[in-house]
Amino acid sequence: MADDPQRNFRSSYYEKVGFRGVEEKKSLEILLKDNPLGMLPPHSDSHTMVGGYRKEQYHDILEALEVMRYVNSSTPCTHVYLRMFQLESQVLPRCSEISAPDEENEDFLSISRAMEEIVDDPIDCYWLIKCFVNQFHTKFGDSIPHLPKSLEHYLSQEEPRLLKHLKNTGALAQLPYSLWFRRCFAGCLPESSLQRVWDKVISGSCKILVFVALEILLSYKIMLLGITRPEGVVRFLCNIPQENTDAIVTKAIELWYKYCGTPMHAV
């Protein structure tokens, strides 16, 4: 699947005028105003009316869940969003069948917690989570299983010694792929860095996730080469230091350009 050049207009424009990377300073919130998730109708005159309908829909769904006793005033917002999403998707379990969140639900909750740090209004937050998750699975659902192999390929180009070490220790097969690729680094990167990654995902590419994972491995290769047990590698990668993540994302974007050329590349 190729990127939509209109969706990725900022990367394309700044590259043409020679300011690659300038657009990275833009926040996810600014990008969302350009409506890449399809949250708003094309005619601006109807935005207020549609916003009102969605506000009513949010409260109607919330009230229904409260009446059915799925949520109450003490339920964390992220879990409320999950039940709302399940109800709208017609996969809401019976109350008697509710158990600890499975992996798919944990993916949703992780993205919800991250979005909650970016967007203040709960109604906007839910709609953004819903649209982000739906778009991600619709556009990239078939690509996600192939991303670990893609990561292995690029790591073989950049640092074959580290790749060999990860294979020999059994760590390669146990890398936190779910955290990186299914949760789009939610719970791994802090808000400021995460927004820059999600900016690219929303613009139309999941390939950026591979290069962020690659740059994490490259940035900590000395540390990783010194760990001989796969569980130690996974533990470290799930809790990487937070002070260097902006530089990691910047270098990841440079790798993305290096291997993919222009932003209009194959996903």
Q: Which of 108, 140, 172 is the last residue of a domain?
A: 140
Domain that residue 172 falls in: 141-267
Percent of the chain residues topping a pLDDT of 70: 79
Residue pLDDT, tens place only, 113-125: 999 999 999 999 9
- Exposure of 33 by Cβ count < 10 A (0-12 exposed, 13-18 middle, 19+ buried)? exposed
Tally of domains in the chain: 2
What pTM value is reported for the model? 0.82
Where residue 104 sits, what CATH number does that domain have? 1.10.8.680
The helix/strand/coil state of 26 is: coil
Maximum alpha-carbon separation in the chain? 60
Domain assignment of residue 13, yes or no? no
Residue 21 pLDDT class (50, 70, 90 cuts): very low
Residue 81 lies in a domain: yes
Q: Would you call 58 helix, strand, or coil by DSSP? A: helix
For 232-244, the pLDDT digits (tens) are 999 999 999 998 9
Please answer whether residues 12 and 262 qualify as being in contact, where contact means their C-beta atoms are separated by less than 8 angstroms.
Answer: yes
Same domain, 94 and 179: no
**Of 140, 165, 195, which residue sits at a domain end?**
140
pLDDT at 262: 60
Same domain, 243 and 193: yes
Task: Indicate if 192 and 119 belong to the same structural domain.
Answer: no
Q: In the prediction, which pLDDT does 179 show? A: 97
Residue 190 CA to residue 135 CA, distance in Å, equals 22
Query: Do 151 and 257 reside in the same domain of the chain?
Result: yes
Question: Does the residue 204 lie in any domain?
Answer: yes
